[in-house]
Structure 1
Amino acid sequence: MLLSRTRTSIVDIARAAGVSKSTVSLVLQKSPLVSETTREKVNAHIKELGYIYNRGAANLRQSKSKIVGIVVNDLTNSFFAELAVGMDMVVQSAGYVQFLAHSGESVDRQREVIASMRENGIAGLILSPARGTEASDIKALVGGDIPVVVVVRNLPGAKVSTLLSDNYAGAKAAVRHLISLGHSRVAFMGGFQDTAVFGERLRGYRDALQDAGIAAEEKYTIHSAPSRAGGVVALERLMTIPERPTAALCLNDAVAFGVCDGLRAHGLEPGKSFAIIGFDDVIEAKTAVPALTTVSVDPQGMGQRAAQLLLKQINSGQRDQEAITTSVRLVVRQSCGAPVKQLEEIE
């Protein structure tokens, strides 16, 4: 009796080669992100198993796709969760569905999830790049056949549309406000040094101090993960500084919440013992105790605008590059309200 031969799939190739399905997809797309050793191994199994890659069928599937890929850095951060919600509102109303993933700040995971999305025929991609992503990576990751919008973190030279917030102006306004309250020792807390957002907000912080005739001391810039846990770590470092600051601009609201946690662990009250300003204005900022003074980026609105920009390119079939910088505003609440006289008494 003759047995019918089932069609070889990418999964079969991946299993035989001992690699992921996404890696096989990258090999088929001739991506430079795959090492030569892995490429040779995968190609050997492709030949052995008789797999034929139907590029025409893949392109046809993609052209009719109603799926939008969205890759962000960290969905445990409320900012990115709200950003994704804003995107989904627009995507769904246009009859598309979103394929959402987070990179966890790993360029390797970012490569894998984007390869998987492409394999499923996404119509376009919105990407907040992981730490260490280079402009040259974008073409290797997605090719030139689908529209891409880069959000939150800029990648100069990537030749794709970008949607960013005015990080510099927001940081400068925040520090000016702290100075207007009488603070002269202001820290900048949280964030990775090798990200564009960190650099832009740090520059605004420093320029605001310089404009007021205050030296920006290096010891007052405290690096940590851009998370709530990172904020706690940053606060512990701040507590060891001689002549420690009386106020801080935090890289984002998550760090600011962590700084508040750290202050309370030391018996200090945010907004009374130390002035804090965050950045993003996530939903929890308004209901926190004390309510968080922050630079409002409007995460959901930003997500909506990014999705609109991508859908415009998908529907028009054009790849025109647009660079949009959204305005921000300082929202003053209770977390920055302590008088300097009271603050100096805790040192």
Structure 2
Amino acid sequence: MTKARVTVIDIAKAAGVSKSTVSLVLQGSSLVNEGTRSKVNAVMRELGYVYNRGAANLRQAGAKSKIIGVVVNDLTNSFFAELAVGVDMVVQSAGFVQFLSNTGESIDRQREVVASMREHGISGLIVSPARATDAADFKPLVAAGIPVVVVVRNLPGAKVSSIVSDNRAGMMSAVKHLAGLGHKRIAFLGGFPDTAVFDDRLAGYRSGVEAAGLDYHEELVISSAPSRAGGVEAIGKAIALGRRPTAAVCFNDAVAFGVCDGLRARRLEPGADFAVVGFDDVIEAQAAVPALTTVSVDPQGIGRRGAQMLLKQINAGKAEAETVTTAVRLVVRESCGAGKTAPAKAGKSVKSKQDAE
């Protein structure tokens, strides 16, 4: 059981003094005699009380902090590390610092860290929500006038700003590319089915299959954790099918790296024996062997854009929700088997509806 936080009232009761006397001691006031001051300080040490002077100063001055909260669902995925770097580039130049926290897909942990960040007086929050997050979780922040920008995973009904990539168009372009290389059985590997991103990317996959004149097969959609280990698991199931696929579009680059690992474990070479396409274009994608064909969403760019949106609302003094869908592009490299005929950074731009308008 979590130990209850010691309060000023607890100190006052234990020391046998008033709450205002404890407050005066904390402020270093000369109105308190040394005997009482020593007694109160001794009780605070005994009970383990820690005075949050910064928060107290903010309350007294009615000022805003220079702290931005950043909460992500999986910091082990380098996508989110790159996103955090993008956020930091913008907030640092604006004189803010970011408090970064990882939820590991736990809603309870997410609520804890958001509550803690509020106690520290954050000026705004950038969050990639944990799975199955309820839009109602962010209503208290909206009610308190704290700007919130949701990134990567949309959160319908939350009435907060959001920035997401064009998942459907990106996945559709990946499928069409593989179909153009002659693949007839293309799998969709990885991702949790209870997220909006999974739904959007799966919809893009189905549209791509249809546009290529191929049949949609339910058994070729294999969900798993959106991680490297999840990719290993998913390709294992795909290879075990009676009619195995010859190519796969992956939920993200982490899954794609795992798929490559799983193929090699079965003495199959990515790009030669089986075509692999990722989604995100993290830094490691270009340096991988073989270099990973992937849908580039520019994670640092999303971080920068999200931070700019948040600072705009902070500076305006009001949280007006806006929605941004960023364009993506297919970057063709070696893992799809077309690297010898396509430039390493050549890509097909896929504009979002918003950009087109």
Q: TM-score, normalised by structure 1?
A: 0.81
**Unaligned 5+ runs, structure 1:** 1-9, 17-48, 50-54, 340-347
Give the counterpart letter for 1:325 in structure 2.
T
Once the two structures are TM-superposed, the CA of residue 245 in structure 1 deviates from its matched residue by 0.3
* 1:59-208 alignment, distance < 5 Å: 63-140=63-140, 143-208=143-208
Once the two structures are TM-superposed, the CA of residue 64 in structure 1 deviates from its matched residue by 2.0
* 1:245-284 alignment, distance < 5 Å: 245-284=245-284
CA–CA distance in structure 2, aligned partners of residues 284 and 120 of structure 1: 35
Query: Which deviates further from its counterpart, 133-142 or 111-120?
Result: 133-142
Distance 1:304 1:62, change over 3 A: farther
Once the two structures are TM-superposed, the CA of residue 318 in structure 1 deviates from its matched residue by 2.1
1:12 aligned residue: 6
Equivalent position SS for 2:5: helix
Distance 1:314 1:217, change over 3 A: same
Equivalent position SS for 1:208: helix
Equivalent position SS for 1:11: coil
CA–CA distance in structure 2, aligned partners of residues 139 and 169 of structure 1: 31
Equivalent position SS for 2:278: strand
**Unaligned 5+ runs, structure 2:** 11-46, 48-54, 340-357
Equivalent position SS for 2:248: strand
CA–CA distance in structure 2, aligned partners of residues 194 and 61 of structure 1: 44
Give the counterpart letter for 1:201 in structure 2.
R
Give the counterpart letter for 2:201 in structure 1.
R
Equivalent position SS for 1:178: helix
State whether residues 114 and 142 of structure 1, in contact with CA within 8 Å, keep that contact through their aligned partners in structure 2. Answer: no
CA–CA distance in structure 2, aligned partners of residues 241 and 62 of structure 1: 63
CA–CA distance in structure 2, aligned partners of residues 13 and 242 of structure 1: 64
Equivalent position SS for 1:12: coil
Aligned pair count reads 292
CA–CA distance in structure 1, aligned partners of residues 207 and 220 of structure 2: 14
Once the two structures are TM-superposed, the CA of residue 212 in structure 1 deviates from its matched residue by 2.0
Once the two structures are TM-superposed, the CA of residue 11 in structure 1 deviates from its matched residue by 2.5
Distance 1:146 1:128, change over 3 A: same
CA–CA distance in structure 2, aligned partners of residues 59 and 215 of structure 1: 62
Structure showing greater radius of gyration is 2
Give the counterpart letter for 2:89 in structure 1.
M
2:233 aligned residue: 233
Give the counterpart letter for 1:298 in structure 2.
D
Identity fraction in percent: 66
Equivalent position SS for 1:336: coil
Equivalent position SS for 1:113: helix
State whether residues 185 and 245 of structure 1, in contact with CA within 8 Å, keep that contact through their aligned partners in structure 2. Answer: yes
CA–CA distance in structure 2, aligned partners of residues 61 and 175 of structure 1: 56
State whether residues 111 and 141 of structure 1, in contact with CA within 8 Å, keep that contact through their aligned partners in structure 2. Answer: no
State whether residues 63 and 123 of structure 1, in contact with CA within 8 Å, keep that contact through their aligned partners in structure 2. Answer: no
1:306 aligned residue: 306
Q: Deviations over 1:241-267 (max 9, x none)?
A: 011100000000000000000000000
Task: Please give the root-mean-square deviation of Cα atoms over the aligned residues, in Å.
Answer: 2.1
Once the two structures are TM-superposed, the CA of residue 63 in structure 1 deviates from its matched residue by 3.7
CA–CA distance in structure 2, aligned partners of residues 200 and 157 of structure 1: 17
Distance 1:334 1:178, change over 3 A: same
State whether residues 185 and 247 of structure 1, in contact with CA within 8 Å, keep that contact through their aligned partners in structure 2. Answer: yes
State whether residues 272 and 338 of structure 1, in contact with CA within 8 Å, keep that contact through their aligned partners in structure 2. Answer: no
CA–CA distance in structure 2, aligned partners of residues 249 and 154 of structure 1: 22
Distance 1:264 1:56, change over 3 A: closer
Question: Following superposition, which runs of at least 4 residues in structure 1 exceed 3 angstroms of deviation?
Answer: 55-63, 140-144
CA–CA distance in structure 2, aligned partners of residues 317 and 72 of structure 1: 25
Give the counterpart letter for 1:11 in structure 2.
R
